Structure 1
Amino acid sequence: MKSLFLKILLMRIHMRFFVFIMSLIATVFSLSVPYYQKEFLDGLLKNSVNISHEIIIFLLLIFGFSMLSQLSVFISKIFSYFEGSYIQKWLSHETYSKTLVLKADNPKKMSAGQALSVYATDVYTACTLIDDVIPNIISYILPILLAPVAIIIMTSINPMLIIVVILSILTLNCLMAIKQGKYFFHNKMFAAIRIGHVNEWLQNMRVIRMLGWTESLEKKIKYSRIKETNNRLAMVTNGSTMNSIGYSAPFFINIIAVFLLIKLEGNKISSGQIFSLLWIFGVLLTRPLRMLPIMLVSITDCYTSIKRVQNYWNQETEKDEVQMKNNNLENTNSEGCDLEIKNLSYKYEGKLLLDNISIVINKNEFVAIIGEVGSGKSLILQALLKIISSECENYKINNESTENMDLNKLRSYFSYVPQDIFIVNSNLRDNVAFEYDYQKNNDNEIIKCLEMSQFNFQTENIKLGLNTEIGERGVNLSGGQKQRVAIARACYANCPIILLDDCLSALDVNTEEKINESLLNGHWKNKTRILATHRLSILPKCDRVLFIKNGKIVENGKFYEIYERSNYVRDFVSTLSE
């Protein structure tokens, strides 16, 4: 990928040029102020200025150039701010779009804490390159470059020694700024690691406390915090030294400039010349000399943030051409679909997890996939959804190839209940509809789906009905309740193909039987159903059962048929029955 830093820098280049021109105009106006101050003072002391007329003209010129300089700076800042907002909107949209298509099985995928840091910190910092850092660097460099010209015009002294001193001070401060930039980079890296640990702790607090891992994780967080604090202390010390040099430099340069002027002019030196030098180095260049090295730190900070954003973008995606819009299924018929996949294979970190699997599932068929833990049951469902980067010779839905099918369209055929159930931090209605602030017009349909999923308000002690707040990650629900909410969500989605990944594991046999009667072989009888499970009691009620072992389908047929003929299946069943 082309450097994102350069892309941001050169995006809408005409606006960068406009900001440069406005900064140049502001600098020229600023340098005009000491010139007219010099002329005014020299004329006043020589009694060559008409008190009633020329003094007013000089003062108006000084005031006018000062105001025009500030106005130019203001216009430059306003345009830079709007450009920064444009870049932030673009970066945020692109980052969000990439997030939606990141591959779930990428071993180098960033952690949740690192991704959060990219969103919360790096996108914003990247935008400051345009709305703050670049405009400031331009406004600081131009006065330093043009000041020697102004000195020659106003004093006729050779500014080379002054230039050497300025460059020496800037070089020293810039070297410290490079060091400061490294501190900034490490600070963000340590902060991202710490946020990742804290995020892990907050998301799994219950389990961590139950298993007695609290002290271990606290030490981990504390250690990362100590490293971050030590780095911050070094960063503050280095920054304070830079500030001290930056603040004292103008006074030191002033002394040298006045000394050179006295050596050159002797008794011919004028008050206007001294005042103009003091103004240039004591007022005009004070901020540039102090802030330019800090801006170098800022540009390094922006670069590292942009690099982190680019690294986030460079993660493997499911499909580059995925469009980020809601595509409705072209065939609005919600009845089941035929499904065929041929020679499906999947490797992860060099290990073959799915090995030439071929499946044909007929319309409205109920198929169960069984096998030992880690045999590849869930991977088959994920491959059908193209969540993982598997390979196959052919994959068809309703006899239509999915090779060039838009990913949104493909997934719109499926309702999916995963093992790790996602619960929205909202009310029950929003969780079933899977949409925040969902309209109440369809409450009857939502309640019907919940009831068919055996989630009853009275028996579950849900006093506020669909308005009941579930809490973050379903903290107020048991494992079985979460599964039933997820099943109700799949029911409400009303898609042609239902994928169920071990969604009965937390349910008792009685509840399982009721869900089978109301949904699996009831309301969903006109849909294609694929269930990955370890529950033996549901298998006789399936049209077919696939037994998978070491990533291969070794048996396919009615449950009692494959049980009779296969030692693998009998061993598997006996293991579950123990």
Structure 2
Amino acid sequence: MESVEEKASFKKFMGLIKQTKIKKPLFFGGIFLTLIGTLGSLMVPLLTQMFIDGFDTSLISTPLVVLIIGVFLFSAVIDGVSYYMLAKIGQTVVQRLREMVWDKFLNLPVSYFDKTKSGESVSRVVNDTSIIQNLITSHFPQLISGLVSIVGAVIILFLMDWKLTLIMFIALPISIVVILPLGRRMQKVSKKLQDETATFTGSIQETLSEIRLMKSFNAERYEQEKGRRGIKELYKYGMKEAIINALLSPIMYTVMMFVIILVIGYGGIRVADGSMSIGTLVAFLLYLFQIMMPMTMFAMFFTEYNKALGATGRIMGILDMTDEKSGEERLELAYNTLEFDNVSFGYGDTAVLENISFQANNNQKVAFVGPSGSGKSTIFSLIERYYNVWTGQIRVDGINIEKLDLKHYRSGIGYVAQESAIVSGTIRENITYGLDESAYSEEDIERAVRQSYTKEFIDDLEEGLDTEVGERGVKLSGGQRQRIGIARAFLRNPKILMLDEATASLDSESEKYIGEALNELMSGRTVLVIAHRLSTIVNSDKIYFIDSGKLTGQGNHESLMETHDRYREFTKQQFGED
């Protein structure tokens, strides 16, 4: 898989968050309310000290009880409101991040998806963004309130008794020595866990999407073992993460208990000799707990922060990738001519096409014939501009297609593959796929359905055009899916029509319907055909023979049969012609 991860830092993390256009008033409002709640909690030990040292039953009155209850209720409401505000911020951030990553995926070139499993990309959209959301919504507010709690408690403690406070600081260097190395180790483990999660997600998604292939070839055992290997890897890294957490919590707990014992021992001596009151010692211990709790949360924050840095690196790596290259010219194209001029192309370092030159004109049918793997389908991919050519030019109406706006250019091209791609949803949604509602009417849909002979089976369906087709069209037959693909092409009304073995895998009845639909669809357009059946190419205006990425012959069927030995041999082998 192509590496798309960047080394993340706090600066890049904050830069990523800023890109989500976070609502600052809402964020700082939530933090402010959190601080109010924290400051309120700092008053409790002082009130406790005053209560213990100066206890007097005459002071207890109904108004005082009501006031205390009111303060607690107000604090609870403040906590609820601040939680909601910060949760809204977190949800907004993750929504915007997912939108950014999803939009980026839609604009990346096909070459990225050739190298990356779809499940791994899904993991970036779902899992990595959730990690960042968790940090912002839960752990960041705890960090802020914890810092305020610690700073406030330390200041009050110094004012109360500076000698006893110094004992508490014994825990600080010990905690740092424990947290930092474990945090760095946690960062590495978390990164590996996220990578393994992405890989596992991609693997199981691939298996489930081809469940029929798996069952027809009795591959359950193979997939079971492969899945369990992935699950064991997740378990292994999950346990490594658990070990670090298991070490972190008791160590921090032991350090804190050690400090508490020292404070109680030294404080007890002070109380005994009369230099400290019991209320002050109790208040001191309460403030100590207010310091201890955030310290343990800091360890968790550090862990989650390192996870978020890993997620940030992967998200930034995707967002910084180069979009599919598009030209800027939105010219009104007639699509009268399509020309390849000495085009060479390959995948990676392997050449697939070498110096291919041909021209197709409007109202012409041009066929490409040759052995499997010779580069015929690659020609169609280059016309769609899924990839950029290595050398040479592809021109429409004399204009290099790399200078044209991609969406505008592709709007004039229709493509029907050997197996038409079907998305989950209704038949109507598949036929109108990719078109704005303003681009067609209900009459246009009905015409496309009729012209593609899709009406023949739609009328038999209870829901008609609103019938759900299932994932990848599993509820439809191959012929039905193919006719929907042709209906989609009819509705698009393309100027250039590309047919990639569009009838190769169909039964005779489906081929009859689809053949008639294609004949009507091809009328008045520039038609490019890749075919394995003689009937679809004999009447072509031009036939180009592609062999090992090179154009070795051109002409009509009769002339090639006379002059091109390889074509004649190929025709006899493929089509059974004598």
For this structure pair, what is the TM-score category when the shorter chain's length is used for normalisation? 0.7 to 0.9
Inter-partner Cα distance in structure 2 for 1:526 and 1:558: 19
Q: Which residue of 1 aligns with 2:165?
A: 159
Q: Which residue of 2 aligns with 1:213?
A: 219
The Cα of 1:101 is off from its aligned counterpart by 2.0
The Cα of 1:553 is off from its aligned counterpart by 2.0
Inter-partner Cα distance in structure 1 for 2:101 and 2:283: 51
Correspondence 1:292-331 to 2 at 5 A? 292-315=298-321, 317-319=323-325, 331=332
Q: Which residue of 2 aligns with 1:502?
A: 501
Q: Name the amino acid aligned to 2:422.
A: I
Report whether the alignment pairs 1:35 with 2:33: no
Q: Which moved more, 1:383-392 or 1:178-187?
A: 178-187
Correspondence 1:182-193 to 2 at 5 A? 182-193=188-199
Instruction: Mark the runs of 5 or more structure 1 residues left unpaired by the alignment.
Output: none
Inter-partner Cα distance in structure 2 for 1:217 and 1:71: 52
Q: CA RMSD in A?
A: 3.7
Report whether the alignment pairs 1:409 with 2:415: no
Report whether the alignment pairs 1:530 with 2:536: no
Report whether the alignment pairs 1:277 with 2:278: no
Three-state SS of the structure 2 residue aligned to 1:157 is helix
Identity %: 24
Q: Name the amino acid aligned to 2:500.
A: D
Inter-partner Cα distance in structure 2 for 1:226 and 1:406: 48
The Cα of 1:144 is off from its aligned counterpart by 2.7
In structure 2, the CA distance between the partners of 1:28 and 1:320, relative to structure 1 (3 Å rule), is farther
Report whether the alignment pairs 1:374 with 2:373: yes
**Contact (CA 8 Å) 2:146, 2:294: kept in 1 or not?**
yes
Q: Which residue of 2 aligns with 1:555?
A: 553
In structure 2, the CA distance between the partners of 1:58 and 1:285, relative to structure 1 (3 Å rule), is farther
In structure 2, the CA distance between the partners of 1:316 and 1:437, relative to structure 1 (3 Å rule), is closer
1:232-260: CA deviation from partner (whole Å, max 9, x where unpaired): 34433543443445556554433222323
Report whether the alignment pairs 1:489 with 2:488: yes
Q: Name the amino acid aligned to 2:284.
A: L
**Contact (CA 8 Å) 2:98, 2:126: kept in 1 or not?**
no
1:548-577: CA deviation from partner (whole Å, max 9, x where unpaired): 122222222222222221122122212213
Q: How many pairs were matched up?
A: 563
Inter-partner Cα distance in structure 1 for 2:493 and 2:269: 91
Three-state SS of the structure 2 residue aligned to 1:106 is helix
Inter-partner Cα distance in structure 1 for 2:37 and 2:351: 66
Report whether the alignment pairs 1:136 with 2:142: yes
In structure 2, the CA distance between the partners of 1:358 and 1:129, relative to structure 1 (3 Å rule), is farther
Inter-partner Cα distance in structure 1 for 2:405 and 2:190: 42
Q: Which residue of 1 aligns with 2:575?
A: 577
Three-state SS of the structure 2 residue aligned to 1:239 is helix
Three-state SS of the structure 2 residue aligned to 1:556 is strand
Correspondence 1:317-356 to 2 at 5 A? 317-319=323-325, 331=332, 337-356=336-355
The Cα of 1:423 is off from its aligned counterpart by 1.1
The Cα of 1:437 is off from its aligned counterpart by 13
Residue 13 of structure 2, aligned match among 5, 23, 26:
5
**Contact (CA 8 Å) 1:341, 1:395: kept in 2 or not?**
yes
| TM-score (normalised: structure 1) | 0.85
In structure 2, the CA distance between the partners of 1:557 and 1:509, relative to structure 1 (3 Å rule), is farther
Inter-partner Cα distance in structure 2 for 1:407 and 1:348: 21
In structure 2, the CA distance between the partners of 1:140 and 1:110, relative to structure 1 (3 Å rule), is farther
Q: Which residue of 2 aligns with 1:542?
A: 540
The Cα of 1:203 is off from its aligned counterpart by 1.1
Correspondence 1:513-524 to 2 at 5 A? 515-520=514-519, 522-524=520-522
In structure 2, the CA distance between the partners of 1:76 and 1:10, relative to structure 1 (3 Å rule), is farther
The Cα of 1:163 is off from its aligned counterpart by 1.4
The Cα of 1:409 is off from its aligned counterpart by 0.8
Inter-partner Cα distance in structure 2 for 1:433 and 1:10: 37
The Cα of 1:120 is off from its aligned counterpart by 2.3
1:341-376: CA deviation from partner (whole Å, max 9, x where unpaired): 323221212011122223322122211111111111
Q: Which residue of 2 aligns with 1:229?
A: 235
| TM-score (normalised: structure 2) | 0.85
Q: Name the amino acid aligned to 2:44.
A: V
Q: Which residue of 2 aligns with 1:267?
A: 274
Inter-partner Cα distance in structure 2 for 1:419 and 1:138: 59
Q: Which moved more, 1:552-561 or 1:106-115?
A: 106-115
**Contact (CA 8 Å) 1:419, 1:503: kept in 2 or not?**
yes
In structure 2, the CA distance between the partners of 1:474 and 1:436, relative to structure 1 (3 Å rule), is farther
In structure 2, the CA distance between the partners of 1:18 and 1:160, relative to structure 1 (3 Å rule), is farther
Inter-partner Cα distance in structure 2 for 1:99 and 1:308: 13
Inter-partner Cα distance in structure 2 for 1:481 and 1:225: 39
Inter-partner Cα distance in structure 2 for 1:24 and 1:444: 62
**Contact (CA 8 Å) 2:533, 2:575: kept in 1 or not?**
no
Report whether the alignment pairs 1:120 with 2:131: no
Three-state SS of the structure 2 residue aligned to 1:548 is strand
Inter-partner Cα distance in structure 1 for 2:238 and 2:523: 63
Q: Which moved more, 1:135-144 or 1:372-381?
A: 135-144
Q: Name the amino acid aligned to 1:293.
A: A
Three-state SS of the structure 2 residue aligned to 1:555 is strand
Q: Which moved more, 1:71-80 or 1:98-107?
A: 71-80
Q: Which moved more, 1:533-542 or 1:124-133?
A: 124-133
Inter-partner Cα distance in structure 2 for 1:258 and 1:350: 73
Inter-partner Cα distance in structure 2 for 1:313 and 1:342: 34
The Cα of 1:278 is off from its aligned counterpart by 1.8
Inter-partner Cα distance in structure 2 for 1:74 and 1:178: 34
Correspondence 1:222-261 to 2 at 5 A? 222-246=228-252, 250-261=256-267
